[in-house]
Amino acid sequence: MVIIIYIIVFFMAMILSNIINRFFPRLPLPLIQLIFGFFLGYFGSEHVLRLNPEIFLAVVIAPLLFREGEESDIPSILKHWQTVLFLAFIVVFITVFSVGYCIHWMIPALPLAACFAIGAALGPTDIVAMTSLSKEFSFPKRVSNVLKGEGLINDASGIISFQFAINALTLGTFSLSKASVSLLFSVFGGVLVGIVLGILNRKITGVLEELITVDVTGHLLMEIVLPFLSFFIAEKFHVSGIIASVVAGVLQASRFKKITLLDARVDAVTNTVWKVLTFAMTSLVFILFGVELEVVFFNYNAKNTVEGVYLIFIILLATAVLFITRFVILALYYRFVSWRRQKSYARYLHDALLLTFSGVKGTVSIATILLAPSLIHKSIPSERPTMILLVAGVTLCTFVTGMIVLPILGEQKEVLRDHYVEIDILEEVIAQLEEDAKKLRNRAAIDATIDNYRMRIQNLVIDSEFNKLKKDLYKLRLKMLKMETQGLKDAYQKKEINDFAYEYYFKYIKLSEQRISHSFISPLNFLAVMLKRMIFNIKFRFKFIRSFILRKYKRQKLTSDEKRSIRTVYVTNTKMLLSFLEKVEGKYNSKLIDYLKADRVREMEILRNHSFVERIIIKARLNNVEEMMRGYYLERKIIFEYKEKEKLTGKKVLELQKNVNVLESYSLKEKDPNLSYSLFDFLRYHGE
């Protein structure tokens, strides 16, 4: 029962960390999860949520790298194969010796082989940690490809180096020739296992498809099992399980693409499931990292080898040596490359800096130092906590350093996009839908469809602007949302609008809230607005439920008086908002103010068509599927017309078609009706 509770707590920590990251996007998600893990360890979860190295590498790292291999652009990585191999092997091995000798110099009591084991654990770059840090900025494509290639194979070189160090520590001997042969055997053996299992998986799947005995679930399960199977079989033959999993992933990605309904469904489901699994496993990495940090820091006894303050100094020095070693080797390597290619060294120097500070460490380093706890414990029982604490401390320092330095070196992800052609396409769809609407008496459904297209146009226009304008737009929208919410609340308290009319209007406000991007406004300000609205809404719900229980009900639609009261309150709020926009006209971009005014006036025009309330209901229930299908048909038709007129490239056409397919698939998906609106239609109270 305790284990179940802690598992629930872990998932809650994962969910809360994601929510916090959404509100505070500048805080890296891994750092938030690491802090959660630290507190989980502090409150006793280390007894349950502990990192078992063998299981961790097999169950978490192997599938993560399998998916990385499956999604990697292998041809692009192969263009830089020399740099990738140089980083994954030469740099890792030199790091083992430089960090190892540095620590042995600072702590002579620690055996040299133990210091090399620490260096081996800190040698490989953690691609999971690196990917998590790089969400807010971008690297040049060549640097990104090198890092991906390095991350796919350097775990194997680090683990192999660690095993050599442990053997030297326990047996007291080290043979370079034997180590080299063992390294080649481990790498090429892992490649061979990955190839065999990848091909075998493909053949089995093909046979089952021919026998019509495999479905989407079967496909998915076989793919999910493949990285675990590759890892365990490779380890059984004493070769690299990590390399085997990566190779199996690469082969899975390179399978022949068949255009069938089954393959399309498999691809859609597989991508969704892997996204969830990848997020969960990545979260597990950093939460467990936090737990291990808490256990190591608070359970460390200074009498083991060195005092705490001196140990902190050693951690900082080892971190500096690690980055300096990596930079010097890369600088020399790129000096040779620039000389050979007769190109400027300045560009390569920037690449060297990016690759240096991208060499962050993660939970793989912690797992590596814990890989052979019994061997370390028997050989040097008193130094084992010091070794673990050194690895944990340096890992944390590299992560924090990367979090600070990389955004400075990398390029900010503010790219102006040209959406003019897409906007023209959507405008033409709206024009044709307007023509369709003229032939209908009840045009609420098609008007709701037009609203969806206008929202898409609006998002494209916003995406084409600089971040400064986006920030001002969302800031103004948040203020307007706050004012409109207060206006609705005042009208309700003055009894200008009843419970059911309030519910409909409140739904409109919630739809408006979706138009605000949290990443461009103050998280605390947005949270304050949402909490204030939530508190009032909770009070309203209790009052509504009480009335629901105490009164009689009958089936009845929204009355004309209730619709009229919604329109009256909306007009009052519109006048207030337009007045507000007039007052702030000098403080913000005039085009932005004009846009917001025009958007609100357009909504007022909807009131005159007497379809305002109906459109809110339709959006809540998503029961305008037929009209949406008409829109998607027109969109595809216009896209092909633009292609024939050479207004769109073939690549852009494929991108737009894919977007239409995703929207259409979502619109056709069967959904349960909105519960609150179903209750409104079926259960109504009468009388006061």
Q: Does residue 157 register a pLDDT over 80?
A: no
Look at 361-375, 566-580, 590-604, 605-619 and tell me which has the smallest mean pLDDT.
605-619
pLDDT bracket for residue 685 (50, 70, 90): very low
- Distance from C-alpha of 630 to C-alpha of 201, rounded to nearest angstrom: 42
pLDDT digits (tens, 9 = 90+) for 477-519: 888 888 888 888 888 888 888 877 887 777 777 767 766 655 5
| Alpha helix stretches (DSSP H) within 342-466 | 345-357, 363-369, 373-379, 384-409, 420-438, 444-463
Q: Assign 469 a pLDDT band (cuts: 50, 70, 90).
A: confident
Say how many C-beta atoms besides its own lie within 10 A of residue 77's C-beta: 21
Q: What pTM did the predictor assign?
A: 0.64
Tens of pLDDT, residue by residue over 247-268, are 888 888 766 555 566 666 777 6
334 and 348 in contact (C-beta within 8 Å)? yes
Q: State the alpha helices, DSSP H only, in 464-587.
A: 467-493, 499-513, 523-550, 560-583
DSSP letter assigned to residue 674: P
Q: What is the DSSP string of 38-62?
A: HHHHHTTGGGTS---HHHHIIIIIH
User: Percent of the chain at pLDDT above 90?
Assistant: 5
Instruction: Report which of 450, 457, 452, 411 is spatially closest to residue 431, judged by C-alpha positions.
Output: 450
Whether residue 422 has pLDDT greater than 70:
yes
Q: Note whether 49 and 285 are within 8 A (CB).
A: no
Q: Is the pLDDT of residue 364 over 80?
A: no
When the candidates are 2.60.40.10, 3.30.70.1560, 1.10.10.10, 1.20.1530.20, the CATH number that belongs to 52-277+301-412 is 1.20.1530.20
Residue 130 tokens read as 């690196």
Question: What pLDDT is stored for residue 485 in this prediction?
Answer: 85
Domain ranges of the chain: 52-277+301-412, 426-520+556-682
